[in-house]
Amino acid sequence: MKIPVMIVNEVVLFPNTEYRIETNDKELENLIHTIEESDTRSVAIIHSLDGESRDDVLSFPSIGIYSMLSFKLMVPNSKIRAVFGCYRRVYLSNYEKINGIYYAEMKEVEEKIDKQEENRYSTLLLRSYEKYVHYVSSVSNAMLNQLSGILSLSSLTDSLAMLLPIEIKSKKKYLYELDVVVRAKNLLEQLKEEMSLAKLEHDIDEKVQKELDKEHKEYFLKARIKAMSAELGEESVKENEIKKYKNRLKKLKCNRKVRERIKDEIRRYESASSSSPELVMMKDYIEWMLSLPWEVMTKDVTSLKQIKKTLDEKHYGIDDVKLRILEYIAVKQNSKKERSPILCLIGPPGVGKTSLAYSIGESLNRKIASISVGGINDEAEIVGHRRTYIGALPGRILQGMKKASSNNPVFIIDEIDKMRKDMRGDPASSLLEVLDKEQNSHFQDHYIEEAFDLSNVMFIATANYEEQIPMELKDRLEIIHIPSYTEYEKLDIAKNYLIPKALDEVGLTTLQVTFSDSAILSIVRYYTKEAGVRDLGRILSKILRKIVRENLEGDTVFLREIGEEQVEKYLGKRRYTFYEQEEKKQIGVVNGLAYTPFGGDVLPIEVTYYQGKGNLILTGSLGDVMRESGQIALSYIKANYLEFNIGKWVFDRDIHIHVPEGAVEKDGPSAGIALTTALISSFRKKEVPSSIAMTGEITLQGRILAIGGLREKILGAYRAGIKKIYLPKENKKDLEEIPDEIKEKIAFVLVSNYQEIEKDLFS
């Protein structure tokens, strides 16, 4: 019988297997197609003898495998997938090619075998294979089970021949060997060989594994030892720490309760495992407890004379301030028990509040703690966070105490007027607990948890604005105002304090450089605009640094005296004008006076009006109180329009009041009379000289009420060249504070009712 032939060279197939291909080879497709079309769908699969040829009949074997196409599928990318079942050995002869396909004559092979022999060999083979599998970990026991299920020796030998990892050449031998017993015998040999190989491999593996294990073991042991010794080391570090803590605790001055608490904490730390995440927190807490000055006190200087001397050395003038401070200290010394109020220094920036507070500390020989509470809106900043809070710390008060390292320092609390209140709490009330003598002997910080005695602390607060200090705090404060300085006071401060300090800083002496008075005054007038002397100090230092540099570069020898011209040389063009009020007369423009962080300043107020419905427009970043002042002024004028000689038309005009420099916020009632005057000047088209200024609150009846910050305002007016100021009669006593040199230059008109101004200016 003729049968198509398929040549397969990549693998050696045996009966009782499957052959799967996927191909787009045209010849092969043609062959598969032909097989599919045939009745029997059968094919003889052969392996060419040389393992390569596909077209050389001489290399085609005489034995092939009778197979049948069991499955065919066209898959995407135009390939054919086919599966053949391979069944039995057949003889093949007379190969010939027809239409591109080889055909051969096929004859059945008959396998004869004695049943007993078959069983014997089957058992032998399976046993042998079982042993082999034992050494080859890659062969699974499932395979062994499958083989045990094979009944014929022929099939068993074929399966084994296929499974064993032997060369293709050897496999072919098994395929072409028709005597089953010989196949079995050979396979037994083969298995033995394979087994000894596998055993060898297995032994080697085991040895290598042992070696590796040994190495591993050593490695692990070493790692273990390392870890243990690290642990031991850490333990000893911890032990060391505990020893140190205990020593510190012995020396710590504190009460029994605190001591017990620290002892407990050290014990807790001692028993905590070194991997405990709380360890750091415990350490931090113990550190804090051990470093607070629970009962450490410094001894005060008690001689008032001595204290005064130190204050004088550090600070020029402000004699009444110093006097009040001395009184305060005297009272404090006298009556230790009595609740003494907290000092609060109030004044514009740079007038020396903070430095005075430091000097008080120095003069008493106390340590100094200093915090700023400006912008604080969280009470935890004052009293700390509870320890359960991540990153918890004590509040600023105890932080300050730790830095001060004594429990009776001078404690400066800056910017007490700039605390804020929101949902996170009210820091002012926490601060109250700190400042209140009744409560502060057992001040409770949330982190520290043990009461700390603050009753020996001398608190000094500073602020810029009295009105902005929280009411409840203000009650506890002994308020001392430090006013802004006149230019002559600044001159003195510069000569006696700032210049020597600045010279010292750059390593010069008064023998090498001095400043003429006119130079200092010109710096004050044309290069600074401030209530205090902070900028003045900075600028003096700047000039001195430039002189030192020039000298090092060899450009100049030291100047003995710096005059006005040198000032301009070092500082460049003047930045501010001073006293240059050219006499102008304007309608609807009147100078008010304001109290700003730079001290006093002149605040021109402008008015205009036009046909409208009687509306009032106010611009220039005015606060509520100032807007109301504008409304009061206008109502007062409208109510008395006949007395003021203004026509009825005023009722149907829209009126616009503007206060220039719109970016600067302005508020307060003190512009009342200036607003009124600007309105009248505008309505009556009467000029007001620009050398006049006025300040005072106005009522609907035209009464003029007292205002605050007069000294600053007058100093501001003075530097702006104002020659006449209207002010409330009620402020008369404040004029006593005004330096004579200013009183000589400015005429003050005290008024209690607006009509007085009207008469003076407009009639």
- Give the footprint of ligand ADP on this chain (CB under 6 A): 315-318, 347, 349-355, 462, 493, 497, 532-534, 537
Of 287, 292, 299, 298, give the one whose Cα is nearest residue 253: 292
Handedness of CA 640, 643, 645, 648 (dihedral sign): positive
Q: Which residue(s) pair with 368 in the sheet?
A: 410
- Least separation in angstroms between residue 468's CB and ligand ADP is 15
Q: Residue 494 or residue 680: which is nearer to ligand ADP going by CB? A: 494
In the chain the first and final C-alpha atoms are separated, in Å, by 147
Contact 668, 468 (CB under 8 A): no
Cβ-proximal residues to 204 (8 Å cutoff; 6+ apart), any chain: none
- Least separation in angstroms between residue 343's CB and ligand ADP is 13
- Least separation in angstroms between residue 539's CB and ligand ADP is 12
- Least separation in angstroms between residue 362's CB and ligand ADP is 12
Taking every pair of Cα atoms in the chain, the longest distance, rounded to a whole number of angstroms, is 153
Task: Fill in the amino acid letter for 718.
Answer: Y
Cβ-proximal residues to 285 (8 Å cutoff; 6+ apart), any chain: 265, 387, 447
Between the alpha carbon of residue 345 and those of residues 309, 324, 413, 477, the distances in Å are: 20, 11, 10, 9
Phi–psi pair at 405, nearest 5 degrees: 55, 25
Task: State how far the Cα of 556 lies from the Cα of 513, in Å rounded to an integer.
Answer: 12
Q: Residue 252 or residue 318: which is nearer to ligand ADP going by CB? A: 318
Residue nearest to ligand ADP (CB): 352
**HEC-encoded secondary structure of 453-511:** CCCCCEEEEEECCHHHCCHHHHCCEEEEECCCCCHHHHHHHHHHHHHHHHHHHHCCCCC
Q: Residue 118 or residue 712: which is nearer to ligand ADP going by CB? A: 712
Q: Residue 175 or residue 371: which is nearer to ligand ADP going by CB? A: 371
- Least separation in angstroms between residue 486's CB and ligand ADP is 12
Q: Residue 354 or residue 690: which is nearer to ligand ADP going by CB? A: 354
Alpha helix (H) residue ranges in 149-179: 153-163, 168-176
- Least separation in angstroms between residue 537's CB and ligand ADP is 5
Contact 651, 609 (CB under 8 A): no
Task: Fill in the amino acid letter for 532.
Answer: G
What DSSP assignment string belongs to 604-619? EEEEEEEESSS-EEEE
Active site residue 682: no
Between the alpha carbon of residue 673 and those of residues 122, 404, 590, the distances in Å are: 128, 51, 10
Contact 16, 158 (CB under 8 A): yes
Of 90, 79, 77, 96, give the one whose Cα is nearest residue 32: 79
Local structure of 654: helix, strand or coil: strand
**Residue 418 has what DSSP assignment?**
G
Active site residue 236: no
- Cα dihedral 694→695→699→704 (10° resolution): -80
Q: At what angle do helices 180-251 and 153-163 cross, to 10 degrees?
A: 50
- Least separation in angstroms between residue 460's CB and ligand ADP is 11
- Least separation in angstroms between residue 746's CB and ligand ADP is 24
Alpha helix (H) residue ranges in 335-477: 353-364, 380-383, 396-404, 427-435, 437-440, 471-474
Phi–psi pair at 749, nearest 5 degrees: -115, 115
Q: Which residue(s) pair with 98 in the sheet?
A: 101
* CA atoms within 13 A of residue 68's CA, in its CB half-sphere: 8
Local structure of 182: helix, strand or coil: helix
Q: Residue 355 or residue 752: which is nearer to ligand ADP going by CB? A: 355
Q: Residue 347 or residue 696: which is nearer to ligand ADP going by CB? A: 347
**Active-site annotation holder among 670, 681, 682, 691:** 670
- Least separation in angstroms between residue 298's CB and ligand ADP is 23
**Active-site annotation holder among 322, 367, 529, 713:** 713
- Least separation in angstroms between residue 401's CB and ligand ADP is 22
**Both structure tokens of 235:** 């333990």
- Least separation in angstroms between residue 393's CB and ligand ADP is 27
Q: Residue 532 or residue 672: which is nearer to ligand ADP going by CB? A: 532
Q: Residue 354 or residue 528: which is nearer to ligand ADP going by CB? A: 354
Burial status of residue 322 (CB atoms within 10 A of its CB: 0-12, 13-18, 19 or more): buried
- Least separation in angstroms between residue 549's CB and ligand ADP is 23
Q: Residue 528 or residue 677: which is nearer to ligand ADP going by CB? A: 528
Q: Residue 384 or residue 537: which is nearer to ligand ADP going by CB? A: 537
**Residue 532 has what DSSP assignment?**
S
**Both structure tokens of 84:** 């053949």
Q: Residue 314 or residue 724: which is nearer to ligand ADP going by CB? A: 314
* Residues marked as catalytic: 670, 713
